[in-house]
Amino acid sequence: MRVIFGNSDEINRKAVESKIDILMSPEKKRSKDFMKSRNSGLNQVLCKLAFQNKVAIGFNFNDVLLSKDFEKADILGRMMFNVKLCNKYKVKMIVCNSIKNQEEIRSESDLESFARVLGMKNFSVKKFEY
């Protein structure tokens, strides 16, 4: 399984153009949001490319869990925006929990609930350790 973690717009674009399996957390390392929309790392062009190349978009629960209080709302808003785009363009979505220690472990039902809160319709749950 080939996974690329999202970063800049160029990396996100190259990731969905190439034949990788998962683009994980495209909303990470984003600057401020735009005036009338979210700076979420995805747009309609990238979602169409992801659908054509069968690239799944990954959402990491630990990004929300380990963020500071004032950053949680921004991360959740960007994730929700990305979920709306993925639902609209029928892109596969994966919810995962990348754990580093025992306190960060969450059950599959917790991750499914998180996916429903984000608004996902079709998703799968994965656990990664690194």
pLDDT score recorded for residue 41: 83
Q: How far is CA 47 from CA 27, 67, 99, in A?
A: 14, 26, 27
Q: Could you tell me the domains of the chain?
A: 3-129 (3.20.20.140)
- pLDDT reading at 130 higher than 60: no
Average pLDDT score over the chain: 86
Long-range contacts of 114-120, Cβ-Cβ distance < 8 Å, separation of 24 or more: 114/59, 114/61, 114/64, 115/59, 118/59, 118/76, 118/79, 118/80, 118/83, 119/80, 119/83, 119/84, 119/87, 120/83, 120/86, 120/87, 120/93, 120/95
pLDDT digits (tens, 9 = 90+) for 52-76: 999 999 999 988 988 888 889 888 9
Q: Give the mean model confidence (pLDDT) for residues 31-50.
A: 82
In the structure, what pLDDT confidence band is assigned to residue 89 with cuts at 50, 70 and 90?
very high
**Cα gap 53→16, rounded to integer Å:** 7
